[in-house]
Structure 1
Amino acid sequence: MNLENSRDYYGKVLGGSADLRTDACCTAEAPAPHIRTALAAVHPEVKARYYGCGLVVPEAIEGAHILDLGSGSGQDAYILAQLVGEKGSVTGVDATPEQLAVANDHLEWHRERFGYAKSNVRFVEGDIEKLDQLGLEEASFDVIVSNCVINLVADKAAVFAAAHKLLKPGGELYFSDVYADRRVPAHLLNDPVLHGECLSGALYWGDFDRLAKEAGFADPRLVTDRPLGINDAEAAAKLEGIAFHSATFRLFKLDGLEPQCEDYGQAVRYKGTIAGAERAFDLDEHHHIEAGRMFAVCGNTWKMLAETRLAEHFEFFGDFSRHFGVFPGCGTNSPFAGAADVTVSAESSGCC
């Protein structure tokens, strides 16, 4: 039923983003200059049918092969196509024929606008709950993105599991979606407006954390978040008592990530070489890493930087030969009575 609701709402009910009744499926973040430049080169009709809730443009993606889950009219795909360059590629998957028609109608227009000899974008019609049926090669994508779409599907566990299989080792699922501070009552799932507005299908954040880890993404990292306003009185009445947030997470496909942030005395120094982030790199909400400055990290963060496409942009200090317990500032070092509290300067270290 969720898939039928989505196809109808985004294909027939909504004529464009101006028809939305809440701000859940809207992007409030101000894009960085290089993203604004790329957005300016996207066809107006594609932009008019955009319903995303975040910026799904991770850093350091030149030459990357990207899969866009729920690509819609193609705005994110066409932005990413410019940033990966001609040697990279973007594959969009969507289940709404009307949205795919808009995306496909402008393939050649964008190829010419980007100055590419051949298009590096393709769109596939399909259900993101059934990615294994679309002929996509396992371990073939560097990055998977999704923008306010996973909330619309019923079997969210299947999406996370399939994404993990499709990513290369060290690859990343970088996505924005809507989350609730508690489980939304089941009877609201079939409300066409609440579902189409990305609210009734929103995951309780605790369920998301569990599903992500069960799929193999051991340490989900929150990148950005914002509270959502529900300006439609009827929708607000049905959802009274539930708080919603739009949030962007990054999930890395890495072996050996630990349940807690463990301290091995490691540190990194950012070289300032990522385009658009020359002064500082934000791995997540707790890791603002200034260029040229030593930055203490836990073992998990070390792996996220050292065993992914980000490695060339950092210098690494230390190893895993000596363990100092839980990383300072990220929990208690000991559960036992009388254990000393440990504090750390925010200027010298990052909390994992």
Structure 2
Amino acid sequence: MCSKSNSCGIPSEDKLREYVREHYAKVVTSTKTSSGGCCGASGSCFAPNLQKDYAQKLGYTQNDLSQVPEGSNLGLGCGNPALFANLKPGEVVLDLGSGAGFDAFIAARAVGETGRVIGVDMTAEMVAKARENSSKNGYKNVEFRLGEIEYLPIADSTIDVIISNCVINLVPNKEQVFREAYRVLRSGGRIAISDVVTSVELSESVRKDLALFAGCLAGATLISDLDKYLKGCGFVDIKITPKDEAKNSLRNGLPIRNSKIL
């Protein structure tokens, strides 16, 4: 007998996408302000009033948190890609899996009025929430588009910087994500990601668990595969750096949060 969250075999790509889409639609439409996300598939790992504390542990400043729209920080990240994206005024930034817009709004401040930020998310409810947050707060240099990050609704060679926060692990075809990222980047463009990686192959029992996939664990990428994907797409100057507090987990072969790719 098979349950929805633990099927008899490795779920198909379509099934994984649909489960993740349903999971995060519930997150953003819930009356609660906290959620499962990357803190675990079974529920929230911290109380709503601790979300700002959690974000600060990931590297966000009090200034970051005070200037983003209320309701944009859903507590779903595992790092702060803006810390190492080196965003500059006037740049065009693409946020892969932009959710309710938290990182996109932070990026919008960094690139200024002469810059532009585009967020892409496959969950219609997330896009609607992000657009609401943007409209209510008068953002003129941010837009949000509905789409899968494996097939970006973005023209070739139009983006200066790509950021993403704990989302690529939720995508079945990660190599395709990086192909698309390379396609839309201008020559000399760069990509900065906070995500979940692993140093050993995950067991089948983990990989077939839909709840663990939506919880950012079962979809963790092998570091060796990640390096191969990036190089295969044409990226250079690749740095994959687990954060200090995650290194023990990495050595033990566990999926880790807060790794970064630059």
TM-score (ref. length: structure 2): 0.79
Q: Indicate whether 1:249 and 2:258 are aligned.
A: no
SS state at 1:212 partner: helix
Structure 1 partner of 2:16: 2
- The percent identity for this pair of structures is 33
| 1:22–1:104 Cα change, 3 Å | closer
Structure 1 partner of 2:121: 94
TM superposition outliers: structure 1 runs of 4+ over 6 Å? none
User: How far apart are residue 50 of structure 1 and its match?
Assistant: 3.7
Structure 1 partner of 2:161: 143
The equivalences for 1:44-63 within 5 A come to 44-47=70-73, 49-57=74-82, 58-63=85-90
CA contact (8 A) 1:2 1:190 kept: no
Structure 2 partner of 1:37: 63
CA contact (8 A) 1:11 1:96 kept: yes
The equivalences for 1:154-303 within 5 A come to 154-223=172-241, 225=243, 226-227=245-246, 242-246=253-257, 247-250=259-262
Cα distance between partner residues in 2 of 1:175 and 1:196? 18
User: How far apart are residue 98 of structure 1 and its match?
Assistant: 1.6
**Which amino acid in 2 is paired with 1:109?**
K
User: How far apart are residue 142 of structure 1 and its match?
Assistant: 0.6
Aligned residues: 227
Cα distance between partner residues in 1 of 2:248 and 2:145? 33
User: How far apart are residue 186 of structure 1 and its match?
Assistant: 3.9
CA contact (8 A) 1:95 1:127 kept: yes
| 1:210–1:85 Cα change, 3 Å | same
Deviations 1:40-82 (A, max 9, x none): 11122112x2411110112242111001110001000111111
Structure 2 partner of 1:20: 36
User: How far apart are residue 229 of structure 1 and its match?
Assistant: 10
User: How far apart are residue 178 of structure 1 and its match?
Assistant: 0.1
Deviations 1:133-187 (A, max 9, x none): x2x1211111001111111111111110111111111110101100012111345
Two-structure CA RMSD over aligned residues (Å):
2.4
Aligned residue among 150, 174, 184 for 1:129? 150
CA contact (8 A) 2:37 2:76 kept: no
Instruction: Flag the structure with more relative contact order, 1 or 2, with Cα contacts below 8 A and sequence separation at least 6.
Output: 2
**Which amino acid in 1 is paired with 2:227?**
D
Extract unaligned runs of 5+ from structure 2. 1-14, 46-53
| 1:88–1:130 Cα change, 3 Å | same
Deviations 1:249-277 (A, max 9, x none): 11xxxxxxxxxxxxxxxxxxxxxxxxxxx
Deviations 1:275-332 (A, max 9, x none): xxxxxxxxxxxxxxxxxxxxxxxxxxxxxxxxxxxxxxxxxxxxxxxxxxxxxxxxxx
| 1:101–1:21 Cα change, 3 Å | closer
The equivalences for 1:69-84 within 5 A come to 69-84=96-111
CA contact (8 A) 2:200 2:222 kept: yes
Cα distance between partner residues in 2 of 1:22 and 1:103? 19
Extract unaligned runs of 5+ from structure 1. 231-240, 251-352
Bigger fraction of residues in helix? 2
SS state at 2:151 partner: helix
Deviations 1:228-251 (A, max 9, x none): 999xxxxxxxxxx7412220111x
CA contact (8 A) 1:143 1:172 kept: yes
